[in-house]
């Protein structure tokens, strides 16, 4: 039981660390365009909590314990929609922008959709390329060991 719990914590930590790093990079790039130096500590805490929430959401959405029948594209959309709801709640709670204006929400939604799509297609490309690499490595191993491919 404790071993499984620690594996769960390690999985959330790994995803949250990557998410936090991506957020820091994104905020840094955006800050350069607006000629701002430094990131306020309150933003860093918000990013830490967002990263942890994202790590937990990803673990739940991509776990076969909860969505065993759902295919990866559906899970990806579920994760994207869930994270959008979390970000919208943070936007209201921490007053990221004047929330009473429809145009601000349209910009927020458009930016989220753009970043989400870029991330999805980047990860899809990485997975496809790594799949090709491992297929080639397997073929080399099979050839070296005279293993006949049964597929």
For the residues 24-51, what does the mean pLDDT come to? 88
Q: Is the pLDDT of residue 133 over 70?
A: no
Q: Which of 3-17, 23-37, 87-101, 130-144 has the lowest mean pLDDT?
A: 130-144
Residues 6+ apart with CB under 8 A from 119: 22
56-90 per-position pLDDT tens digit: 998 889 887 888 888 888 999 999 999 999 999 99
Mean pLDDT score of the chain, rounded to an integer? Answer: 86
The residue among 24, 89, 77 whose CA lies nearest residue 53 is 89
Tell me if 39 sits within 8 A of 31, measured CB to CB. Answer: yes
Q: What is the value of pTM for the model shown? A: 0.74
Higher pLDDT, 103 or 127: 103
């Amino acid at each position: 039981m404790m071993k499984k719990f620690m594996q769960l914590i390690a999985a959330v930590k790994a995803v949250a660390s990557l998410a936090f790093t991506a957020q820091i990079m994104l905020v840094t790039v955006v800050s350069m365009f607006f000629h701002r130096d430094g990131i306020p500590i309150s933003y860093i805490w918000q990013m830490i909590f967002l990263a942890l929430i994202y790590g937990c959401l990803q673990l739940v959405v991509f776990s076969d314990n909860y969505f065993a029948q759902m295919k990866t594209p559906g899970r990806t959309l579920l994760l994207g929609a869930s994270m959008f709801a979390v970000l919208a709640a943070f936007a209201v709670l921490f007053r990221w922008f004047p929330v009473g204006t429809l145009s601000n929400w349209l910009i927020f939604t458009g930016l989220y959709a753009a970043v989400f799509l870029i991330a999805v297609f980047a990860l899809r490309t990485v997975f496809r390329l790594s799949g090709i690499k491992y297929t080639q490595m397997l073929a080399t191993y099979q050839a070296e060991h005279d293993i006949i491919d049964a597929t």
